[in-house]
């Protein structure tokens, strides 16, 4: 009988609050509005990384993995039980959009009155497969090389 053993094991650290123990990890994905490639600049990526780290330190969250692609973001995050996932996304998307717009005044056609991020997001809990999810996020740029068919390919023919 074969047993699956991950190549690298992550130490599972149980965190505590005054009346609870927790290990809440999420895989989050979201995109800029209209899936535009506004995150392509290294300056923007570096600033977003700094902003995410600042927000997470302020809220006592921990970034496990972060991958900023040209048109989307993957984030593995450890949160506290007092914060819902909708609150986490509200803080991350809201603060990062506002702070990035202040830092980079006119960012690739996005102006002050427009939102940087699209309305939705993807959220999944990370459990036993933490290694696989973290490896996927870490190597996102390699997975992104595969070209996906366009929705408009059928209109051309």
User: What is the per-residue DSSP string for 88-124?
Assistant: HHHHHHHHHHHHHHHHSSSBTTB-TTS-SB-S--EEE
Name the most confidently modeled range: 76-90, 93-107, 118-132. 76-90
Specify whether 10 is catalytic: no
More confident residue, 46 or 132: 46
Residue 119 has pLDDT above 80, yes or no: yes
User: In the predicted model, is pLDDT for residue 1 greater than 50?
Assistant: no
Mean pLDDT of the chain: 80
Overall average pLDDT of the 52-78 stretch = 94
pLDDT band at 109 (very low <50, low <70, confident <90, very high): low
pLDDT value for 107: 55
Q: What is d(CA 69, CA 155) in angstroms, rounded to the nearest whole number? A: 28
Q: Which residues contact 54 (CB under 8 A, 6 or more apart)?
A: none
Q: Looking at 22, 122, 136, 143, which residue is catalytic?
A: 136
Tell me the pLDDT tens digit for each residue of 15-25: 888 888 888 99
Share of the chain above pLDDT 90, in %: 42
pLDDT at 121: 95
Average pLDDT estimate for 130-139:
81
Residue written as tokens 């700094």? 50
- Could you count the other beta carbons within 10 Å of the beta carbon of residue 144? 14
**Which tokens hold the place of 132?**
């696989």
* Residues contacting 126, CB < 8 A, separation 6+: 25, 26, 27, 76, 133, 134
- Quote the pTM value: 0.74
Q: φ, ψ for residue 117 (rounded to 5)?
A: -100, 150
Torsion of CA 77, 132, 40, 149, to 10 degrees: -130
User: Average of pLDDT values for 32-38?
Assistant: 83
The answer to whether residue 146 scores a pLDDT higher than 70 is no
Angle at 43 between CA 39 and CA 45, to 5 degrees: 45
């Amino acid at each position: 009988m074969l047993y699956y053993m991950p190549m690298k094991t992550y130490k599972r650290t149980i965190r505590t609050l005054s009346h609870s123990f927790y290990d809440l990890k999420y895989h989050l994905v979201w995109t800029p509005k209209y899936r535009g490639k506004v995150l392509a600049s290294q300056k923007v990526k570096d600033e977003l990384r700094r902003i995410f780290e600042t927000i997470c330190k302020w809220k006592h969250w921990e970034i496990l993995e972060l991958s900023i692609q040209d048109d989307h973001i993957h984030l593995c995050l450890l949160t506290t039980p007092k914060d819902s996932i909708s609150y986490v996304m509200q803080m991350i998307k809201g603060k990062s959009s506002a702070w990035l717009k202040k830092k980079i005044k006119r960012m690739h056609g996005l102006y002050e009155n427009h939102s940087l991020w699209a309305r939705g997001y993807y959220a999944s809990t990370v459990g036993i497969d933490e290694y696989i999810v973290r490896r996927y996020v870490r190597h996102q740029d390699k997975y992104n090389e595969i070209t996906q068919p366009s929705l408009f390919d059928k209109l051309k023919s």
